[in-house]
A and B are shown apart, each in its own frame.
Chain A
Amino acid sequence: MADLVSHPDEIRVVSRRFGQGATNIGRYLELDGYKAVQKALAMEPDAIINEVKNSGLRGRGGAGFSTGMKWSFVPKQSAKPKYVLCNGDESEPGTCKDRLIFEHDPHSVIEGVMIGAIAVGAKSGYIYIRGEYRYLSIIMQKAIQDAYAKGFVGKNIFGSGRDLDIYWHGGAGAYEVGEESALMESLEGKRGIPRIRPPFPAVVGLWGGPTVINNAETLANVPHIILGGADWYAKLGTPKNGGTRLFCLSGNISKPGVYELPMGYNLKKMVYEVGGGIPNGRTLKAVVPGGASCPCLSADEIDVAMDFDSVAKAGSMLGSGGVVVVDDQQCIVKFALRTMKFYQHESCGWCIPCREGTDWLKKTLIRFHNGGGVKKDIDNMQYLAENMLGRTFCPLGDAAAMPTIAFVKKFRKEFEDHLDGKPCPYEKEGAAEQVPAFAH
């Protein structure tokens, strides 16, 4: 069980019920549970969609697309069944927020899926949880059973004459499945390889039916928006970036943890005040603002508002909310290498720029970190990464390329410090000998 943290600047919306025993359905009901879905049942579907649109809720998985807009793309009439799909394949390095939602407030996800289903006219919803989160699947399974037992889910929900089934589905370890069409392939029992678009999932998605797919945190926000109203929610954040966000502070920081802060919260304040700054008398070198795929910000670039548009303006991405703090004792070349090892491992190999690009970048970075690099490698890495951008079927290629470009551009000197067979300036003495031949 993961520890909870708190800070006075937090505004608790999606984390409101954390630590309050809300996995118990009785307790969840005491804490305003399943009220939003009943309110939604009394609303016109378009009114629900408009409410979500006006709230400024944007996808918490990383892309930041307007949730209400996404819902509005689903056709009203469809010969095939429609579906709502919750993406709980949380795998972006640095991100551990959906885990807390599933652990502390699973019913809010169920309720979010239900409201989505009512809005788009779907009769079933699936909650996909990554395979590593087995204990959370068990919590979710129980929550769904309890909801069925109360008659909230299943036939004729809340006497509305509407049927709505909710299921959970476990993954088996794959980062790429976090991409929406890959997740659908995975749920259909196949390799999680992305689909070519168009058609978009809203038109042809899961089992060929129109499908809404949202991140778990996104869906967990929806009941609060329905109950509290779009205006209230929108005002918590910044223009076009409604609400709050779960930020996962990790790395070289004094008080790591998952904090719910308003959209647009200043990153510098987040690191130094909420997170308590850099421990052990060290200084800040870089921050990865939104999970491994986001270009890093150097120490002098972090005076930025943490909303989708401001972070984009600063040359990075708000991503999935994983704020990874890196201190002055860490080697950026090694950090870049570990990032690339990850993407090389997770690349499905279906399209060539990603398969070859990640592999060659990894090989170059290994050689470079080991002191075998030549000056030309530095430019080559940047050139290679830039040529992956936009040339792959799914965003995994971009996710690998973007941070690499930032590492090379912003920390070129650190790369140069590894040239001419010099040992890594940050490596502990004798570290090389104790490393057994590990795969990857």
Chain B
Amino acid sequence: MVPHYPTKRSALVPTLLYAQDEVGFLSDEVIAEIASRLDLTELEVRNVISYYSLLTTKPRGKFNVQVCTNISCLVLGAEDILHHCAKKLGVGHKQTTPDGLFTLEEVECIGACSWAPAAQINYDFHENLTTEKMDRILDEYKRKEMQ
């Protein structure tokens, strides 16, 4: 990624995201490795990580269920979707199920306003949600994983 930019540092955010997608989260080892490759201090890298909401230094479940509750989703019952997920998975915001499969997260606008209420599971969009539809989606992720 570095050749795309006049400064090495510019590759930092894409590199972090790439590493996170591979490893699952930004571990101490990953941070140290990226810092050394891009000639930055670990502190500089951590400063950047803490700014961006997609980046995490804590392990997450295999599927990160990100339910948008921002205004367009809110007026169409997003809170019911979120609470339904919390009940079904038995976890709260940024918590992971004991089997390590799902993490639940209440997130800000994901750009699916005209197809609200919406959620993202990892990078996949799920739109025009109802609690029943959300059930089917979560069951499907689980079923695929069990196979």
- Which residues of A approach B to under 8 Å, CB–CB? 2-3, 81, 90-96, 98-99, 130-135, 167, 169-175, 186-192, 207, 248-252, 256-258, 288, 292, 322, 324-327, 330, 334-335, 338-339, 342, 345-346, 348, 431, 434-440
Contact = CB atoms under 8 A, between A and B. Distances in A.
B71 A335 contact: yes
B108 A131 contact: no
B115 A91 contact: no
Given A134-B123, A186-B13, A91 B113 contact: no
Contact of A174 (B53, B75, B94, B124): B53
Contact of A170 (B14, B116, B127): B14
Interface in B13-39: 13-14, 16-17, 38
A348 B76 CA distance: 29
Contacts of A437: 92-93
Interface in B81-117: 82-83, 86-87, 92-94, 106, 108-116
Nearest to A253: B114
A130 B112 CA distance: 13
Contact of B54 (A81, A132, A251): A132
B11 interface: yes
18 contacts: A2-B114, A90-B111, A94-B113, A95-B111, A96-B111, A98-B111, A169-B13, A172-B13, A172-B53, A173-B53, A174-B52, A174-B53, A187-B10, A188-B7, A189-B13, A191-B48, A324-B72, A342-B70
A227 B7 CA distance: 36
A98 B111 CA distance: 9
Q: Which 8 A-B pairs have the closest CB atoms?
A: A189-B12, A173-B53, A172-B52, A173-B54, A189-B9, A134-B123, A250-B72, A250-B113
A326 B75 contact: yes
Nearest to B108: A342
Contact of A93 (B13, B53, B71): B71
Contacts of B11: 189
